[in-house]
Amino acid sequence: MVDKQRNDETTILSLNKSRPELPRLLTQFSAGIAGTGLAVLFSVICKIAYTRAPFCTSKLFSTSLGFGLVWLSWAVNRLRGTIVQISKNAGKLVLKEKEMIKRVEKSVNDIYFRVGTLMAIAMLGFA
């Protein structure tokens, strides 16, 4: 899916072949990422509730990291939904192959953008 030198027909065929496994794997990734983000957010909430200094830089950084992980999970889940929709409609030829590939590429690019944003947040936390 990520290779720019690929053939569109082979990409659609590989998506159809991986129909049961790929959505399940993406669901597990999405749940793991969201769970980590929620754990970070709950940790910040507990720290705010039991400390004297409710707002400090480390808590702000942790909060932004937690929300960023949930945001990334949302993008992975959207990619899963796109792949499931393409797999269901591939046999019906409702969508053209180019349009299907554009949807997947848009979802993958959205994930790349969100990962880059999280990496920037992490770098700011270390600086």
Per residue in 25-46, pLDDT (tens digit) is: 999 999 999 999 999 999 988 8
Alpha-carbon distance 44 to 21, whole Å? 35
Structure tokens at 87: 């797999």
Longest dimension (CA), the chain: 61
Residues 112, 92: one domain?
yes
Instruction: From 16, 38, 55, give the residue that closes a domain.
Output: 55
Q: What is the pLDDT of residue 4?
A: 55
Tell me what the mean pLDDT of segment 6-21 comes to.
69
**Residue-range definition of the domain harbouring residue 71:** 58-126
Q: What is the pLDDT of residue 95?
A: 58
Q: What is the pLDDT of residue 78?
A: 94
Tell me what the mean pLDDT of segment 58-79 comes to.
91
Domain count, the chain: 2
C-alpha torsion sign, points 93, 25, 109, 63: positive
Comparison of pLDDT for 14 and 109, the residue scoring more: 109
Residues 68, 94: one domain?
yes
How big is the chain by its Cα radius of gyration, in Å? 19
Tell me what the mean pLDDT of segment 80-101 comes to.
75
Tell me what the mean pLDDT of segment 83-96 comes to.
71
Residues 66, 111: one domain?
yes
Residues 39, 70: one domain?
no
